[in-house]
Structures are given as structure tokens and as C-alpha cells.
Structure 1
Amino acid sequence: MAEILHLTDPADPRLDDFRGLTTADRRPDRPGGKGFVIAEGTVVVRRLLASAYPVRALLGVERRIGELADDLGDVDAPAYVTSAQTMADVVGFHLNRGVLAVADRAPRPAVDELLATARTLAVLEGVGDHENLGALFRNAAALGVDGVLLGDGCSDPLYRRSVRVSMGNVLRVPFTRLEPWPSGLDRLRASGFRVAALTPRADAVDLRELSAPGRVALLLGAEGPGLSDGALAAADTAVRIPMTPGVDSLNVATAGAVAFYELAGRSR
């Protein structure tokens, strides 16, 4: 059971994990220079508490910590209760959601672990925008994607903003890096995946006509430039979402949601 402690001093060293959240994603004192996993709000904190990430502490106003009481029974970490102003003084801004949790990072699965059990994978290239990345993970969790592989140029899914936008689903969908890029895609093909590159190119196959009854890995590229020539060449096929004339593309997270629904739905 988490120990509930009431604190009033923003300089209390027990709150050091929560300080300066605007720069918390990069910490030279942490492994790899990356910060803790940070969850904001009761929904995301619950998902962190239920995940494999080792929780270090919670910080929140009394009402929000109280809402999490049923989730704290098996948590071996302190829950600090304080005022909204003290929270703001510690984290560096007023936090509207009223509760935070910090956790250490957990080891990523090996690529072969994901390939052994997944039927539908998302493979991302160049998705550096934290909000797009978080939204992709939220869509993947909702629409039956079994895991995410990160190619060149992708941001860290565990950045604070990505965790928040994903509504904590980045803590539920397994992910890891795929290297080397893009030749690592050959590993997917060897494991029985058909690699489909999502692109607005006019010569691509209509997504609804994709003949892929088995395992599918969907490639998604960066907002704007899309997939690199190398990634497109490494795919088995190029697919597109048919659109109204005059509209050539969708936001990458939106396009991913449409394609996830179409492809992952075949496996459900």
C-alpha cells in the first residue's frame, strides 16, 4: 500500500523527481540522458500504476490522490499530498489535472518478441512530433495494433507530452526500435509479415483492396515529407486511403487510425 504523506514545503528534497517538468524529458543524471516516465491526470496515472514501469512516487492535491485510493493498494511508493500552489512551485507551472506520478523506464521488448506474437504492427519513420506520436499510440491501442516499431527519426514515445496525448496508452502498447533502417524490415518479411507502406501516391493500391489476410506491418512516415524513398522501396506494397479530390493527405495520426481500423479489424 502506498504511504500517504502530506508535504507543504516546495523545497522538500522528497519532491525532487517532480521538479522542472518543462525540461524533465532530458536529464543528464539519468541513464541515456532521458528522464523519468511521467504520468499526468488520474486516467494516465492509473495506467502507469497498472503498467510494468516501476513507480517511484505520486504527487497531487488531496482530492486527486483520494480518487486513486483503490489503485494504490499494491503500490510500493509514496504518494505526496500537497496544495495546488505547492505543486506549481515544484513542477514549474500550474497543473490543471492535479496529480502526477513518476516511474523509472522499463526494458523494451526485443524485436523478435514482438514478431513472435503480433499479427498487426505499426512501423514508424521520422515521426518526431510528440503529439502525433502519442496520438498514434492511442489509436494503435484502440484499434487492435499489437505493437509499434520505431525506425529512423522517431521521438521517444515516453516523452511527457507523448505519454499525455496517448492517454497513457504508450504504457500499454509494446514498442521497440527497429535497426538497421530500413533493411531491418527484412526481419518482418522473414517472420511472415507483409509490409505495406501508407502513401498518398496515386499509383498506390486502395487500402480497402489490399489482399493481406495474414500478418501485416503498416509503414507510416513523418507529417509532411512522408516515408523516405528507402522505406518505400523496402515495402512489399504501397497503399493509399482514397480521398475526395482536392485533398491529398491526412494528419499522420488520423491516417494511421483509418488504416489500423481497416487492417487490424481483419484480425479481430
Structure 2
Amino acid sequence: MTATDAGYSDILYEVKESVARLTINRPEKLNAFTPHTIKELTQAMWRAGADPQVGVVVLTGAGERAFSAGGDVSVENEDTFRAGEDSFDNLVKELYRAFRECLKPVIARVDGYAIGGGHHMAYVTDLTIASDRSVFGQNGPRVASPAEGWIVSHLWTVVGMKRAKEIWLLCRRYSAAQALEWGLVNAVVPAAELDAEVDRWCKEMLALSPTVLKLLKKSFDDSIAHIREEQDRFTILNQVNPGFFASGEQTEGAGAFMEKRKPDFSPWR
């Protein structure tokens, strides 16, 4: 059975053969997300988690250029970062809570760029399967986007502390082959074979005990819950630089990105 829901504006939602497929549908923006996009993804994740017909969830991006280029820089500003319950920070954390608490395996199907917030979305999911033309990396320091807390620190549980710091502190780009070598992804295949590979992994898990899969997923998550809970108790940005947005540093980073020039952060050194 295939069930497709056209009731979303930024994503596509489809259930087919016990797999829920969530697609960020903003290819003209390299599937960069806005707060509204995150709200739709979160609602769809809770929906898939509650659907007894769904055994596995696949998260992907529309088109062949990008899984997701992260947060849409054109809407990233102090308002979207500090908008209370609707802040980027809170909305993304709620999405990742939905990833965890649905207790069904969540696969990131990556084809093309997985950058910034798109990159953390790929490494926070349970499994990541990528095409050989995919590119991975962070963008926070490059555009002065104040990433913080467990969304950042979770990466060391995936690739180790030194690799995680390199990925975040240098903002380099990594090929799919290198991502596989580092353990950032589980499998890499030619783009033409990506859907077949994702389907194969889905079918393998759908043949297994759903309750045991839930136990395993919760066991892994509980092992690092103390880190997440501790870092969610406070805002690191307020400790490091409470005047960050007023200082102009974030404006320089976002502006340079939009103007396709190299930012000059020397005044804030």
C-alpha cells in the first residue's frame, strides 16, 4: 500500500511497504530548512512513529544536489535564534527528540550536500546511507551560526573526539568515501543504486522483531542521555558571549555568505 500526503508545504510524506519516507522538498534552496520546515518534519516524524503500519523511517531531500544545506541563512537572525519555543535551537531539538522517541529505525538517505544543519541531521539519525557523490561538512563557524550543546557534541559519539573537533572547528568538506572511512556513514553506493540500497536495509530491519529494535534504539540513546540533559540545562552562548547578536559578528557571517565573499571576523577575535 502507498499513502502520500500532500498536506505539507515544505516536505513530502509517503508510506509505502511499511516505510515512511520524509522528503525535504525545497530543492531550489538545496533543501535548506526554515523554522516552518522543521515543524513539518517534526510533525511527520511523530506521525510515522505512531503509525502501526510503519516499521522504518527514511529521511531525505528532494533532487540530486543536496540532502540538506542546513538552516536557510536568509532567515537566520537573532529573532529566529531567540524566538522562545519557536527558536531554531528549540525546534531542531524537538525534531531530534522525535527521531529518538519514535523508537523505529531512522535512516538518512543522503544524495549530494549534507552541510551544516543538514549534516547534523544526517549524523543524529540511526543509520546513514549515501551516494558516492555526497559531500559532508559543517558551516557554523564559517557563517557565524551559533551551534552549541549536545547537537554539536553528539558527533564525538559517532566519529570520536578528535575527528568531531576537526569537522566542527575547520569547516572542511568531506567526500562520501572519507565519511565512510571515519564511520560518519554506514554505506556508500553509486547514486543510481542509492534507492535500492536503502530499500535493502529497510527490508532487513522490517524482517526483525520491532520490539527488540525499539529496545536496542533506546539502549543506545539512554547511554548518552546524561550529556544531552546536562547541556540542555543552560545556553552555552550566554556563557561565552551574551552580546553575540548585537556585536555584528553574526551579521558579518551571514552577510558574507549571502554575498559570496570571505567573511572578516578579525574585529571579534
Q: Do the structures match in fold with TM over 0.5?
A: no
TM-score, structure 2 normalization: 0.26
Question: Greater relative contact order (Cα 8 A, min sep 6): structure 1 or 2?
Answer: 1
Greater Rg by CA? 1
Between structures 1 and 2, the one with greater helix share: 2
